């Protein structure tokens, strides 16, 4: 059975509303469950399946990782889910539910990883497989803490499954402590994880995934020598850019040679509970056959940001009235003039339950690694390496048209830095990085100020008030909230 199907079938039943009250996953207590190798595998599949829950890939993710940027806005009809507007104009509060949903989703991932790390080591099973499963759990835990620390700064570090409710009541660690934990988990995972996986194991973490995420964590801390070394290791593993920028996001090309880590999504006929990824459905073309929800749509600012004739513009944005490369005519009238093409599923591939349940979520791509390499090389004064990595991305984007996207040739460090930042904008638009990229670049007041961004406050989101209340004040709030 392909792993994508296994992950779907082993989806945990529900998820906790609070990381302070995480119940045992499924119905079997862990002390009765973690007995043999099959139990270890089922727990691993459940951990991966949890990554595609609603708070991980839909509304919570849109609110935290997309809506505050200049690339995205609410979408849908004006009165639908108006709470998204508070993230767009930076008026959100600690009580808004999508912040809580995102927080809970990440700690649900952490809890599942910790269950594996606490229990699988004691199972009598194949030692190689055991070590690999433990490494995968460290990768998933690091990925979730990466998302948390970008969004909130310092957060509580839960590295084992608490034995009682009181053990959940831990204060926030500093952001530096969270970053150090992420790096430790990824370093340990990379030494164990395989460089490649079989077709039956697609979606499971690899050495390249751990190294690439470690590079990204290092980039957020401006550890440029480390970013350079880690990206070099990823590059040596044989990844490459997929020839078609538009095509790399389509279902037939999932898990292609550019993909370093994807969240797997599967349609299981007759089982809507398992076919549960709403990543594409919530962003689908509103008013089209099948009825996407039309949220998290590209802005006019994004549409005008691309260089002249950059093919990525039309591969990133579906415009009202156009016909897609797959032959779908988009209604010329409707609530929204633009939709996210990277999440698009052709109408002919719509299925029961929800329209886009088969669409994987691309988490880390090789293009991102090349741009991290370019940025690190420039900061370290290696202009040649920076230009080589940057222009490799641009050449794929322009395809066979030599008249667009000419190679960047500047050797001025400041000008090249800006060119790399712009390239990240064009290449990774609508993939959840733009907001945090601008924050780490120190440009948020300039770029997001017109939207309502306040320096000294909106670099991070508020800790959910529900969590502070449950903790009895042990959790403290971020400044300004």
The CATH number linked to 462 is 1.25.40.390
Biggest distance spanned by C-alpha atoms of the chain: 64
CA–CA distance from 294 to each of 43, 82, 205 (Å)? 34, 13, 31
* Angstrom distance (rounded) from CA 434 to CA 219: 14
Mean pLDDT across 87-107? 98
Q: Does 19 have pLDDT greater than 60?
A: no
Q: In the 8-state DSSP scheme, what is residue 274?
A: T
* 422 within domain boundaries: no
Q: Report residue 223's pLDDT band, with 50, 70 and 90 as the boundaries.
A: very high
Instruction: Among 325, 359, 393, identify where a domain stops.
Output: 359
Here the tokens at position 152 are 């909130």
Rounded distance, CA 362 to CA 254, Å? 9
Residue 157 and residue 13 in one domain: yes
Tell me the per-residue pLDDT of 334-361, one tens digit each, with 9 for 90 and over.
Answer: 899 999 999 999 998 888 888 889 999 9
Co-location of 151 and 2 in the same domain: yes
Measured CA distances, 220 to 299, 372, 376, 413, 420 (Å): 26, 10, 11, 19, 15
Instruction: Give me the mean pLDDT over the 236-247 stretch.
Output: 98
Retrieve residue 296's tokens: 């998290």
Which of 331, 359, 387 is the C-terminal boundary of a domain? 359
Is residue 186 domain-resident? yes
Residues 306 and 171 in one domain: no
The verdict on 69 and 168 lying in the same domain is yes
The mean per-residue pLDDT over the stretch 98-117 comes to 98
Q: Is 362 exposed, middle or buried (0-12, 13-18, 19+ CB in 10 A)?
A: buried
Q: Percentage of the chain surpassing pLDDT 90?
A: 86
60 assigned to some structural domain: yes
Task: Give the model's confidence band at 5: pLDDT under 50 very low, under 70 low, under 90 confident, else very high.
Answer: very low
Q: Which pLDDT score is estimated for 167? A: 84
E-assigned strand segments in 218-360: 259-263, 295-298, 317-319, 338-340
Please indicate, yes or no, if residue 57 is contained in any of the structural domains.
yes
Looking at residue 21, its pLDDT comes to 41
Does the pLDDT of residue 20 top 90, yes or no?
no
What DSSP string runs through 334-346? Answer: SS-SEEEGGG---
**Is pLDDT at 15 greater than 80 in this prediction?**
no
The answer to whether residues 451 and 348 belong to one domain is no
Asked if residue 118 has pLDDT above 60, the reply is yes
Q: Which of 335, 359, 383 is the last residue of a domain?
A: 359
Q: How many CB atoms lie under 10 A from the CB of residue 432?
A: 22
Same domain? For 60 and 175 the reply is yes
Torsions phi, psi for 296 (to 5 deg): 55, 65
Q: What is the mean pLDDT of residues 39-54?
A: 97
**Interval 187-202: pLDDT, tens:** 999 999 999 999 999 9
Q: Output phi, psi for 308, to 5 deg.
A: -55, 130
Q: How many whole angstroms separate alpha carbon 85 and alpha carbon 92?
A: 8
Residue 180 CB burial class (10 angstroms; 0-12, 13-18, ≥19): middle
pTM greater than 0.75? yes
pLDDT for 462 equals: 98
pLDDT of residue 134: 98
* 50 domain residue, yes or no: yes
Closest CA to 240 of 105, 393, 343, 123: 393
In a domain, 99, yes or no: yes
Q: Note whether 28 and 164 are same-domain residues.
A: yes
Residue 289, domain extent: 281-359
Per-residue model confidence (pLDDT) at position 18: 42
> Residue 28: its pLDDT value, please?
54
Say which residues have a Cβ less than 8 Å from residue 214's Cβ, sequence separation at least 6: 182, 183, 186, 187, 190, 230
Co-location of 158 and 291 in the same domain: no
User: Token pair of 316, please?
Assistant: 């990133």
* DSSP letter string, 33-45: HTTSHHHHHHHHH
Kindly indicate the confidence band of residue 31, based on its pLDDT and cuts at 50, 70 and 90: low
For the chain, the helix, strand and coil percentages under 3-state DSSP, each to the nearest 5: 50, 5, 45
What's the pLDDT score for residue 30? 55
pLDDT in tens, 362-393: 999 999 999 999 999 999 999 999 999 999 99
Q: State the Cα–Cα distance between residues 395 and 390, nearest whole angstrom.
A: 9
With 60 as the cut, is the pLDDT of residue 4 above it?
no
Would 240 be classed as within a structural domain? Answer: no
Residues 6+ apart with CB under 8 A from 81: 59, 74, 295
Distance CA 148, CA 436 (A): 12
Same domain, 355 and 449: no
pLDDT at 325: 96
What's the whole-number average pLDDT of the chain? 92
Kindly state the percentage of the chain with pLDDT values over 70: 93
CB 19 within 8 A of CB 468: no
- Confirm whether 90 is domain-assigned: yes
Residue 155 pLDDT: 98
Domain count, the chain: 2
Highest mean pLDDT among 6-20, 162-176, 275-289, 396-410: 396-410
Q: What is the pLDDT of residues 271-303, one digit of tens each?
A: 988 899 999 999 999 986 666 999 999 999 999
Rounded Cα gap, residues 355 and 334, in angstroms: 19
Mean pLDDT of 400-422: 97
Q: Which of 13-27, 257-271, 286-300 has the lowest mean pLDDT?
A: 13-27
């Amino acid at each position: 059975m392909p792993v994508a199907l296994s992950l779907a079938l082993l989806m945990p039943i529900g998820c906790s509303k609070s990381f302070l009250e995480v119940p045992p996953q499924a119905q079997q207590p862990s002390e009765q469950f973690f007995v043999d190798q099959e139990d270890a595998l089922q727990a691993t599949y459940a951990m991966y399946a949890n990554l595609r829950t609603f708070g991980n890939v839909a509304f919570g993710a849109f609110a935290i990782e997309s809506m505050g940027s200049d690339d995205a806005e609410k979408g849908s009809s004006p009165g639908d889910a108006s709470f998204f507007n508070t993230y767009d104009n930076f008026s959100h509060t600690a009580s808004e539910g999508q912040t809580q949903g995102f927080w809970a989703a990440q700690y649900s991932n952490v809890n599942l990883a910790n269950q594996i790390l606490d229990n699988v080591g004691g199972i009598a099973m194949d030692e190689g497989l055991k070590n690999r499963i433990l490494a995968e759990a460290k990768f998933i835990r690091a990925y979730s803490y990466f998302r948390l620390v970008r969004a909130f700064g310092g957060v509580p570090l839960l590295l084992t499954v608490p034995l009682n409710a009181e053990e959940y009541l831990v204060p926030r660690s500093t952001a530096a402590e969270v970053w150090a934990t992420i790096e430790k988990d990824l370093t340990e995972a990379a030494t164990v994880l395989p460089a490649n996986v079989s077709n039956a194991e697609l979606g499971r973490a690899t050495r390249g995934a751990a190294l690439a995420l470690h590079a990204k964590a290092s980039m957020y801390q401006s550890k440029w020598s480390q970013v350079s070394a880690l990206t070099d290791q990823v590059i040596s593993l044989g990844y490459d850019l997929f020839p078609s920028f538009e095509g790399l996001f389509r279902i037939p090309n999932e898990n292609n040679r550019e993909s370093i880590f994807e969240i797997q999504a599967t349609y299981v006929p007759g089982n809507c509970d398992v076919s549960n990824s709403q990543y594409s459905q919530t962003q689908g073309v509103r008013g089209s056959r099948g009825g996407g929800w039309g949220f998290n749509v590209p802005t006019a600012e994004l549409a005008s940001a691309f260089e002249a004739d950059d093919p990525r513009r039309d591969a990133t944005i579906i415009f009202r009235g156009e016909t897609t490369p797959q032959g779908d005519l988009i209604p010329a009238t409707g609530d929204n003039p633009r939709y996210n093409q990277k999440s698009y599923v052709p109408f002919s591939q719509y299925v029961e339950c929800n329209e886009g349940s088969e669409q994987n979520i691309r988490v880390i791509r090789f293009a991102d690694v090349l741009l991290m390499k370019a940025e690190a090389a420039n900061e370290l004064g290696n202009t040649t390496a920076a230009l080589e990595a940057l222009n490799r991305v641009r050449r794929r984007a322009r395809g066979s048209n030599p008249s667009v996207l000419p190679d960047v040739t500047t050797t001025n460090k400041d000008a090249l830095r800006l060119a790399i930042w712009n390239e990240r904008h064009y290449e990774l638009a609508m993939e959840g990085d733009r907001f945090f990229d601008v924050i780490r670049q120190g440009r948020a007041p300039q770029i997001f100020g017109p939207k309502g961004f306040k320096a000294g406050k909106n670099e991070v989101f508020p800790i959910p008030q529900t969590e502070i209340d449950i903790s009895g004040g042990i959790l403290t709030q971020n400044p300004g909230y």
